[in-house]
Amino acid sequence: MRNLLFSARKKDFNVETMRGTGSGGQKRNKTDSCVRITHISTGMSEYCCETPSQHRNKATAFQRLAKRLVQMVRQKDQKKRYAAGKKTIRTYHEPED
């Protein structure tokens, strides 16, 4: 069974579509196929403009952003675990004469 590191809903993200830049001609200049997705609470964003399809670009950007968010959550969790491990309680026993 896999544990969830975090949960996110659609309203946690801001999705923007825009026109691509560079070569590609009239089709690229008139269609909004590029996507920028921003996670609102962290401010982390991902941009994708690799394919002519807005849906594929959106899926790719979500995958990349989710991967980065998971890495961020794991790093925070590791820091907490490392800090908690430093607070060990030591007991010393004096020899009885």
DSSP 8-class letter at 10: G
Indicate if the alpha-carbon torsion angle 42, 56, 9, 3 is positive or negative: negative
Q: What is the mean pLDDT of residues 63-80?
A: 89
Residue 76: the pLDDT is 86
Asked if 46 and 65 touch (Cβ cutoff 8 Å), the reply is yes
Question: Where is pLDDT greater, at 80 or 70?
Answer: 70
- Write the CATH number of the domain with boundaries 11-85: 3.30.160.20
Q: Which residues contact 85 (CB under 8 A, 6 or more apart)?
A: none
pLDDT digits (tens, 9 = 90+) for 12-62: 999 999 998 878 788 888 889 999 999 999 999 999 999 999 999 999 999
Whole-prediction pTM: 0.74
Task: Please report, for the chain, the start and end positions of each structural domain, with discontinuous segments joined by +.
Answer: 11-85
